[in-house]
Structure 1
């Protein structure tokens, strides 16, 4: 995201500017895998990325170009998840220093199957979501230093080093999008009345979001379109670009945007410890994630605001009920 909006401390993505030429993408992939691509097709996605499906005689790949910190953090998250058995994408190559393209990128091997929200077989989709919940528990066993979106450090000699959360406390992670509310109001994305209701809800629920333990790895953008399956078998969890260190409940807050029934399936696989305030905590985190999404989208020059604003309104309505 652009530093003009977030002061460089909320999300590392920057608006991507001009589209990478297909020929340049093909040349970079040929350098990395040693075979000439048969086809290159740009994929839709967040305005802060450029994603391409690249077909070759040695399989299909996704090239994802973006900010160097985001590229390195996503690669690290995929590798850590795969190390504990989670079916995350295999990262074939990372170029954070723009040696083979004008933008940093990672290259991943395509996973079999497809998004469960594209299937007509409800039972197959349900089984995959339960399995995804089980794997999330394994992800949440991975300890990560710091809190918030992952970032990669760079030493004085220019080499890339440790990946960690960008913030010192989870309270800082919760506070950041609340601090961006004036910008969203000034841009007429939120009105002042709605911003005031957000502030009041988080002031009242501050104790619910107090997280005193060390951060663990979160996918932090889990959605049915990021869960892949084939014939009822979970084949992958993709798009780790928003990987975060923090409170596992935040994961469920984000996923709850998919609806109560879908969340129930993930929770069935995960089997979380629940107290009487679990549901309210999830709703607060749903609103928090939606506020982050608004700030990221605005800062990157996008315009996908309506769904996130409605999620904020719906969440506040649930909290008020």
Structure 2
């Protein structure tokens, strides 16, 4: 018996024998399959994720038009004729993501930065929702202190950090965000960036939020390439301040959440973001990162 007989009509429509259909594990929103050597199939796991695939059908062409390396859509079908769910077939990228691949060289992150600069200059496509990243985190700090997740002294210090960061972050013009720029969505081969994939979390929001799902070490390596390609040229240290704002904000809000064993993304464990900030600052990061915290202590 073939492993995926339900996909045989769809595979046949592209001239791919069902024996050449192989599931690729790891996706949260979609089941993913390699259709032979050249095509890649994505099917939403539930109705709740179907709107994300619809969003991708408009965001991916906008990203490609801006010059971003991402697989082109070969077919997007909502008719449920060949299978009982909507699906998207894309070009297949041959490479590995950063979860399974080797640590890339610094030049890789320069490429990522350049790609993000192109993306952030793209026109807003239909279907890209507004997203501010959750708003002001300071009420959350107060709430977690009241619930006993934070002691009073740490809460007061965090409020001071956010107050200081707020003075450094300029008003950010919204841009098209990938929204899930993380290790599992960056494809690499021979130390080079092959493609940015998975646009289901794309949104229209502040540029600094784009850097919230990379580690801060990766952010620090990416920003020079981003700026060199014309991204955030008027923000000085504002990009670093904004990235740190989201790392701390999302890290704090994640403290009460339950663990999610088996997830591939590094931010799944509730304390990972905050421990990531600690690791970064323990590594003697370059300017202007140290001053973002030190000045807040005054």
Structure 2 unmatched ranges of 5 or more: 282-292
CA contact (8 A) 1:226 1:237 kept: yes
8 A Cα contact 2:142 2:155, kept in partner: no
Corresponding residue of 2:204: 245
2:34 aligned with 1:54? yes
SS in 2 for 1:82: helix
| Alignment of 1:287 onto 2:227 | no
Counterpart in the other structure of 2:150: 193
Bigger radius of gyration among the two: 2
Moved more, 234-243 or 101-110: 101-110
What SS does structure 1 have at the residue aligned with 2:23? strand
Which of residues 61, 65, 88 is equivalent to 2:44? 65
Partner of 2:17: 36
Q: Give deviations 1:35-65, integer Å, cap 9, x for gaps.
A: 333232241132xx23222232x62423242
CA distance in 2, matches of 1:276, 1:284: 12
* TM-score when normalising by structure 1: 0.65
| Offset at residue 194 of structure 1 (A) | 7.8
Tell me the equivalent position of 2:226. 270
2:287 matched to which residue of 1? none
Cα 1:192–1:131 change in 2 (3 A) is same
- Given the alignment, which residue of 218, 226, 229 partners 2:177? 218
Counterpart-to-counterpart distance in 2, 1:202 and 1:59 = 49
Q: Show structure 1 runs of 5+ residues with no match.
A: 1-20, 146-161
Looking at structure 1, the residues matched to 50 and 194 of structure 2 have their Cα atoms a distance apart, in angstroms, of 28
* Corresponding position of 1:311: 273
Please state how far the C-alpha of 1:137 moved relative to its aligned partner.
Answer: 0.4
Match of 2:128, SS state, is strand
Shift of 1:293: 7.7
| Aligned counterparts of 2:137 and 2:124: Cα–Cα separation in 1 | 22
1:230 aligns with 2:174: no
What CA distance in whole angstroms lies between the structure 1 residues aligned with 2:17 and 2:151?
A: 53
Report how far residue 29 of structure 1 moved: 3.6
Equivalent residues of 2:172, 2:207 under 8 A apart = no
Per-residue CA distance 1:2-52 (angstroms, 9 max, x = gap): xxxxxxxxxxxxxxxxxxx83223433434x24333232241132xx2322
Aligned CA distance change for structure 1 residues 115 and 306 (closer, same or farther; 3 Å):
closer
User: Which of 99, 113, 119 is 1:133 aligned to?
Assistant: 113
Q: Distance in 1 between matches of 2:144 and 2:27?
A: 22
Q: Which residue of 2 aligns with 1:18?
A: none
After TM superposition, give the deviation of residue 106 of structure 1 in Å: 1.9
1:148 alignment counterpart: none
Partner of 1:283, secondary structure, is helix
Give the structure-2-normalised TM-score: 0.69
- Mapped partners of 2:139, 2:6: distance in 1: 40
The structure richer in strand per residue is 1
RMSD between aligned residues: 4.1
Aligned to 1:164: 128
Distance 1:45 1:308, change over 3 A: farther
How many residues end up aligned between the 2 structures?
264
